[in-house]
Amino acid sequence: MLVLNKPAGLAVMGERHETDLVRLAAEAGETLYPAHRIDKVTSGAVLLAKDLRLHGDLTRQFSKRTVDKVYLAITRSAGLPSRGTIELPLSVGRKNRVRIAASRESIAFDATRSCWFIPPGAEFQEVRTYPSVTTFLRVSGDGQHTLLAVHPVTGRRHQIRVHLAWTGHPIEGDPLFSRAGGKAARGTGAAGGGTRTLLHSWRLGFAAAWAGGARIRAEAPPGADFWAPLGGPPGLPDWDTASAALAPASPAARP
């Protein structure tokens, strides 16, 4: 098993015309089996198996949503609540783009729960939709940017990026939602100038079948390019504090 801190601008696998993480490993004589993927523009922790016998168990943990996943995101906005939940279903639109499965105007916000949701009857009926839940904890901000710890409860493709953008809080440098980001946001993310997508896979917690099911916690610190808009890293919540704050509400606790 291996956890790598992937740089922004490098795909985990599946690249046709450029290199990727799996191909780089193969060129160095190492065979790696990704247990999951993060977007090419996203940096941070990626879990890979070095032994194919362990790969199936790791991928099942992701599919069953028993892996603890926490991302760091810097939004190009302010005014977010200290904690929040985004319960917006996703669908796939034109050109295979992920979007909210409803009109932007139908998105509602419940201030008592700090929750964004789609009212009954407003969700698209003519396309396949995917229930999607994201929770977040506001860590810090400077009036123009907000640093969030984010938990993608359902782990859909582009979920964090779409959820934050459609609630009015796009991630800084995201090429899907930033005209200013453009081609620069697809690059490797050199520090200075905000030329990368400021989304980072920060923490992964999973069971180690080879160690009797013991729980492993892995953390990948962001590089200086991630912190550039904030002038440096602030104090970050410890593992247990963040996990408790990001735990989704039980169905019984929802109205």
pLDDT > 70: what percent of the chain?
Answer: 91
Q: What is the mean pLDDT of residues 115-137?
A: 96
CATH number of 2-247: 3.30.2350.10
Q: Measured in whole angstroms, how far is the alpha carbon of residue 202 from the centre of its chain?
A: 9
* Pair of tokens at residue 21: 């993480």
Q: How confident is the model at residue 250 (pLDDT cuts 50, 70, 90)?
A: low
Residue 90 burial (CB < 10 Å; 0-12/13-18/19+)? buried
Residue 15 burial (CB < 10 Å; 0-12/13-18/19+)? middle
Q: What does the mean pLDDT of the chain come to? A: 91
Residue 93 has pLDDT above 90, yes or no: no
30-62 confidence digits (pLDDT tens): 999 999 999 999 999 999 999 999 999 999 999
Residue 96 has pLDDT above 60, yes or no: yes
Of 219, 182, 198, residue with least CA distance to 41: 198
Instruction: For the chain, give every domain's residue range.
Output: 2-247
**How far lies 114's CA from each of 46, 81, 86, 110, 255, in Å?**
30, 7, 8, 6, 13
Residue 174 has pLDDT above 70, yes or no: yes
Q: How confident is the model at residue 195 (pLDDT cuts 50, 70, 90)?
A: confident
Q: Could you tell me how many helices (H) and strands (E) the chain has, helices first?
A: 5, 13
The pTM for the full model equals: 0.91
Q: How confident is the model at residue 70 (pLDDT cuts 50, 70, 90)?
A: very high
Q: What is the mean pLDDT of residues 99-115?
A: 97
pLDDT of residue 154: 96
Q: How confident is the model at residue 89 (pLDDT cuts 50, 70, 90)?
A: very high
Residue 193 has pLDDT above 70, yes or no: no
pLDDT of residue 186: 42
pLDDT of residue 255: 47
Distance between CA atoms of 18 and 9, rounded to whole angstroms? 11
Output phi, psi for 178, to 5 deg.
-130, 110
Q: Are 150 and 139 in contact (CB under 8 A)?
A: no
